[in-house]
Amino acid sequence: MVKPLKLAGIFGIILLVLTIVSIFLSFSTFFGFSNSLKSSMESGEGFDSGLESFQQQAKTMLNIATIILIITFPFSIGFLFGFVALGRRFNNKMLYVTAWIFIVLAVLGFILTLGFYATGNLYPESQTTQTSSTFGNLLKQKASQTPVMGAILNMFGDAGFWPLLILFVIGGLTLQIIFGIGLYKLKKKDVALADWSGSFEIGSIILSFLGTLALILETIMFFKASKKFETENSQMSYQ
């Protein structure tokens, strides 16, 4: 019991580092566009030249981000096993079942990401042909260009796009809420930071940055729980 939690904490630290790197890449891409455009305008090459330079930089950043995404999956799976261990120890079925579902989805995501990346379909072009800028068309375009999910949605064409998107969204929100509630319930079992972690997991549905805060708290939670159970096991062995 102690070892899975300690390992989950270590995986959590690695995931935090990868998250910071991803955020850094996002800012680098934005500032890269600004610098490319500024340099091109100052040198008299024009906007098109700056845009072409930025696209080359963005392509490199995208490849790096994809590699980071692929690396993230195995560590995420190891991290999620910590919740499986806690759910099993405290007979918390909500946490146990949802953690296993997330593990299965992470494995599928890893396989699909590798497959789509190898075939060049991980970042598909939008299938939307309408020029209208309605909310529905903008949402469809955004979803179509999302890694993995966009590739799957585009495979089914217009007929299956909206039903699948609704299924993904509702299913994802439901799992996130149940997972957060299950995690929050560990407060009654004196698991440190479980209540805040569960609250932030649910809150991340609205404010995505809360997911990063939840990851930080969960990482600390695993180390604290591991130390607590290790102490309890030591005391029991002396009795």
Report field, pTM of the whole predicted structure over 0.85? no
**What is the chain's pLDDT, residue by residue, as a tens digit (239 residues)?**
568 999 999 999 999 999 999 888 877 766 665 565 566 555 655 555 555 665 676 677 778 888 898 999 999 999 999 999 999 999 999 999 999 999 999 999 899 888 888 887 776 654 444 445 566 666 666 666 666 666 677 677 667 777 888 888 899 999 999 999 999 999 999 999 999 999 999 999 999 999 999 999 999 999 999 999 988 877 766 65
Q: Look up residue 132 and give its amino acid.
A: S
User: What ranges do the domains of the chain cover?
Assistant: 2-238
